[in-house]
Amino acid sequence: MEVIPAIDLLEGRCVRLYKGDYAQSQVFSENPVEVAKLWVDQGATRLHLVDLDGAKAGHIVNLAAIEAIASAVSVPIEVGGGLRDRSSVQQLFSLGVQWAILGTVAVEQPQLVQQLCQEFPQQIIVGIDARNGLVATRGWLETSQVLATQLAVQMQELGAAAIIYTDINRDGTLSGPNLDALRELAGAISIPVIASGGVSSVTDLLSMLALEPQGVTGAIVGKALYTGDIALTEAVKAVGAGRIQDIPPNLGFSTFA
């Protein structure tokens, strides 16, 4: 299972939010490029970037930071936040980004998702952010009446390469992933599911590893890497390719703590 470090961009800096609340942001670094390099040096095989300003604005805002990271590291990058039209997606791919993550448009403009999946096969990921099983949109500022599992099935039919599932009530809380919701979602579709939200320890990652046969192929880890609750090198050893079984959990240190 892939361990995917998250780099959340707000005003050009690397931050973490608590439960998606922009008012509760904590700055971890003024230099996101150095953060990206650090995670790659520690074994990351993929990076997850979120343009938090873009998620609110509805278009890419942190373009310079995204471009700088894409040119500085050799691993593939996925980017989400504010991608609500074709030109934004095209712009990302021109910078060398591997996957574009669509969120709000999946609910509001499914036909656009279908068009983009056809134009950029295997490069469109749909991010489903749920609060109590219902999909949230527009930077998590609004909650729809759409069930997460229903949306996942629809997006698979439209050609999405994968689903990133975020449980908002767990995000940034270090309270552990919502395994039941993950199991339900992964069981409803056959495309890969990448889990996000609440991962707090190597033990959490090992518990998610049990869902790998059902299609949970990766876990996005944010706050726990920055606080030192998870050491990326140990996490990769525990659940990544060529993993070492039964390592002691919670071998943490942090460059940011």
* CATH number where 207 lies: 3.20.20.70
- In angstroms, the CA 101 to CA 196 distance is 13
Residue ranges with strand state E in the chain: 2-10, 13-18, 21-29, 47-51, 77-80, 99-102, 124-131, 134-137, 142-147, 162-167, 193-196, 216-221
pTM of the model: 0.90
Q: How far apart are CA 255 and CA 257, in angstroms?
A: 6
Q: Is residue 250 part of a domain?
A: no
**254 domain residue, yes or no:** no
**Inside any domain, residue 248:** no
pLDDT digits (tens, 9 = 90+) for 145-170: 889 999 999 999 999 999 999 988 87
Residue 57 is assigned to a structural domain of this protein:
yes
Work out the pLDDT band at 194, boundaries 50, 70, 90.
very high
225, two tokens: 């890497």
Q: How many domains does the chain have?
A: 1
Question: Would 58 be classed as within a structural domain?
Answer: yes
- Report if residue 253 sits inside a domain: no
The set of catalytic residues is 8, 129
Is the model's pLDDT at 83 over the cut of 70? Answer: yes
Quote the pLDDT of residue 140: 57
| Domain that includes residue 188, residue range | 2-239
What is the overall mean pLDDT for the chain? 91
Domain membership of residue 40 (yes or no) is: yes
Mean pLDDT of the region 97-115: 94
Average pLDDT over residues 97-118: 95
**Is residue 122 domain-resident?**
yes
- Has residue 247 got a pLDDT over 50? no
Please report the pLDDT score of residue 22 as a whole number: 84
